[in-house]
Amino acid sequence: MADVDAYEKLGAFYLGRPADPASGATRPEPLLYDSRDLLTHALCVGMTGSGKTGLCLSLLEEAAIDRIPALVIDPKGDLGNLLLTFPELRPADFAAWIDPGEAARRGKTPEEFAADQAAAWRDGLAEWDQSGERIARLREAADFAIYTPGSEAGLPVSILASLAAPPPELVADGDLLRDRISTLAGSLLGLLGIDADPVRSREHILLSTLLDDAWRKGENLDLAALLGRIQKPPMTRIGVLDLESFFPAADRFQLAMALNGLLAAPGFQAWLTGEPLDVERMLHSASGKPRVAIFSIAHLSDQERMFFVTLLLNQVLGWMRSRPGTTSLRALLYMDEIFGYFPPVAEPPSKRPLLTLLKQARAYGLGLVLATQNPVDLDYKGLSNIGTWFLGRLQTERDKKRVIEGLEGAAGTAFDRPAMERLLSGLENRVFLLHNVHEDGPVVFRTRWAMSYLRGPLTRAEVKRLMDPVKAAGAPTAAEKVTSLPLSGAAAPAATPPPLPPTTTAAAAAGGAGEAAAPAPAAAPVLPPAVPQVWLPLRGRPEGVTYRPALLGFARVHYSDAKKGIEHAEELALLAGFGSGAAAGAPDWYAAERAAIAEADLEPGPAAGLAFGNLPDEAARARSYPSWRKDLEECLYRTRRLEIFQSPVLGEASRPGESEREFRVRLAERARERRDDEVEKLRAKYADRAARLQDRIRRAEQAKEKQAEQARQQKWQTGLSFGATVLGALFGRKALSRTNIGGVGSAVRGVGRSMQESRDVEHAEENLEALKQDVQELNAALEKEIDALEERFDPEDEELETIGLKPRRTDVEVRSVHLAWVPWRDGQPAWG
């Protein structure tokens, strides 16, 4: 087995070995593909049986080993094979996934067939210099999950987030916003069976107008809210026509009924439960580990597939535009069998976001990989944005012609059409032509053996068997269930400092057992006008509700650190109860709770007919409130901290409010950029030394040849001289004349010179071998430094430092303190 160091290199994908186009023979060196070339996207084309699926799975395996997350759209169900990885390669591992029918057709028991498959995979991996250890490394490097939208077989996906307002960066881009609205409206109507033209269909225009109005206001929608707005739109005119003339209420009711029928359908409920369609969350696990998220849509109808794919592509666009630019590969989007989603003439909802991604994703580090066996059904004008083409066996001459046309459009004037046609005509199974605009010319190669067990499409039951343990282990922890609600009418705090030290909660103080036992007055207490009173809004019905007193303070805490570049303000609304016992009447700010409310949401008066709880005497005096305000300032100064994470290796600090998971994901991107930069510097540093060594090797080889030639000539001359002398001695008139004696001496000296020349040749060879050893040592030193870089820039295992920023006294501003009347019902708060 060859040394795995030949292909285990940073940023290099091991896809196979070069092959001779004429003979088909495979060369021993690995074919390595630079991962950054995927920033200009890739297309894989090949007929059924060409090995296209194996090549694409191998590419995804390499990306996972390099810790690059991927979103994988799987219309056929083949790509779930990425989860069938067995490091120990035991027959028992394969037994659960073999096809019993195939075993029977081969005349074998399932156990025998499983043993055959295990042996085939073990031998196939060994032939391509791989082993179970590399499979283990693959499983360790990334998470793998199968999502099944519209089904609970795998991990279910909720589409509700797809109707939420997109990020501000996307809203600010008018073209992107219009495209997203148009594709979402079209896909929704397609799900209802309405083939809507974006310009002529009033259904499409109405939905687009409603989405545009809500999203520009930053309002999130769901299907139920959209249904209500269809019946009662927030506008009175659409275009130059009034609403009733353009789309009468009776007709809007029919559209609303169709949407309601979709919502009421039992099968549609599976679309509304599960993990939100959140790209960032699906690209990384809770700990920040890269994930290969496989969206299996084989079970869906054509309309449902188009609906989901369009939603996912739009979510990817929004995620992409919210990320900073990068020159490194950040993530992959792979779609198998793109047929129907990117046609040359028609305009399905999926086509526009795909075209936008092909044009713009490069700048954000997102690489697209598309695959198909029907090249004639692709828009090759759009595919001219693709830089890498993997071309396998094609079914018809028409397919070859369309592929050549697409390649010619992507390559430009430097395209050699006749040579490309000859190469395409001789491809075998598992042999592909790689055309990469970043390389000098095309390469024919044979694909390596996939580490995943390629058993074919997975059934729903098999997907369920794979994902049930993940679902059982994936229940959110208590910490994950807690969500930070934004202040109503204001931006949510960007940071979540530790809570104020708990003693007795405001809820307990405002409605504890002792308070509940006391009779509640029927009317509000009469208080001086100087006592600042507010009423929290009542939630739900007024029956059984009692107002109980608490203190509500609004404050702003500022955190500043010029060295770390941190300027952050935290808005707080704190609800504190009044103490009991010896501390009766005094608010306990240290036990205050965060309240998700803004001053603008407070009610100016109480709801009619509700009872009030007892009010401490101190709370009825206006002079108490300035003192309590100072107490709140002191409490905030002593207790508030802004905790951030810092990476000692990269010197990066987390942003306010950024979780450790989010920070580690961002560090991984930054580490990849730093790593790529450092690798380039190392290669540049070693390039000059390598060039000098190559020059010395060249000169040493020339010296060796020269010395060898001189040695050959000296041997020839010595042989002639010695032979002439011997003949003279044998046949001359005088056996030992002086001339012959002199000839013998000359011949002996020639032998000495010949031996010296031979030693010179040996010295030249030793010098050449020493230089070659220097080259090997130089390469080893470079690889060692590159390996050290990988260990150095590994944010997953790095121990982060936690830094707490404390506000200055002048950075704590208490804006107001109110006597707050809190609605309670059945021992629980009833406000919101």
**Residue 191 pLDDT exceeds 90:** no
Task: Work out the average pLDDT over 354-383.
Answer: 89
**Residue 443 pLDDT exceeds 80:** yes
**Residue 385 pLDDT exceeds 80:** yes
Share of the chain above pLDDT 90, in %: 36
Question: CA angle at residue 244 from 240 to 247, to 5 degrees?
Answer: 85
pLDDT-derived band at 1 (thresholds 50, 70, 90) equals: very low
- Write the class of the CATH domain 34-157+286-300+310-400+448-474: alpha beta
Task: Work out the average pLDDT over 166-174.
Answer: 84
pLDDT attached to residue 253: 80
Task: Work out the average pLDDT over 395-419.
Answer: 73
Q: For residue range 415-442, list pLDDT tens digits in order.
A: 677 777 777 877 888 999 999 988 888 8
Q: For residue range 213-226, list pLDDT tens digits in order.
A: 999 988 888 787 78
Are 407 and 420 a contacting pair, CB within 8 Å?
A: yes
Using a cut of 0.75, tell me whether the model's pTM lies above it: no
Alpha-carbon span 184 to 223, nearest angstrom: 12
Task: Work out the average pLDDT over 249-256.
Answer: 84
**Residue 458 pLDDT exceeds 60:** yes
Fold of the domain spanning 660-801: Helix Hairpins (1.10.287)
Through-space distance between the first and last CA atoms of the chain, rounded to whole angstroms:
68
pLDDT-derived band at 475 (thresholds 50, 70, 90) equals: very low
Share of the chain above pLDDT 70, in %: 83
Residue, of 802 and 206, whose pLDDT is higher: 206
Write a three-state SS string for 572-593.
EEEEECEECHHHECCECHHHCE
pLDDT-derived band at 134 (thresholds 50, 70, 90) equals: very high
Fold agreement (34-157+286-300+310-400+448-474, 660-801) = no
Domain ranges of the chain: 34-157+286-300+310-400+448-474, 160-271, 484-641+806-829, 660-801
Residue showing tokens 């007024």: 542
Alpha-carbon span 463 to 457, nearest angstrom: 10
Instruction: Decide: residue 437, CB within 10 A, 0-12 exposed, 13-18 middle, 19+ buried.
Output: middle
pLDDT-derived band at 752 (thresholds 50, 70, 90) equals: low
Q: Which of 569, 646, 651 is nearest to 804 (CA)?
A: 646
Alpha-carbon span 638 to 659, nearest angstrom: 23
Q: Which of 789, 783, 785, 784 is nearest to 671 (CA)?
A: 789
Q: At what angle do helices 223-231 and 249-264 cross, to 10 degrees?
A: 160
812 to each of 557, 633, 804, how far by Cα in Å?
Answer: 5, 6, 16
Task: Work out the average pLDDT over 561-565.
Answer: 81
Alpha-carbon span 793 to 648, nearest angstrom: 11
The top-scoring range by mean pLDDT among 356-360, 478-482, 524-528, 587-591 is 356-360
**Residue 70 pLDDT exceeds 80:** yes
Task: Work out the average pLDDT over 341-367.
Answer: 91
pLDDT-derived band at 574 (thresholds 50, 70, 90) equals: very high
| One-letter amino acid of 650 | L
Helices (H) and strands (E) in the chain, counts: 23, 24
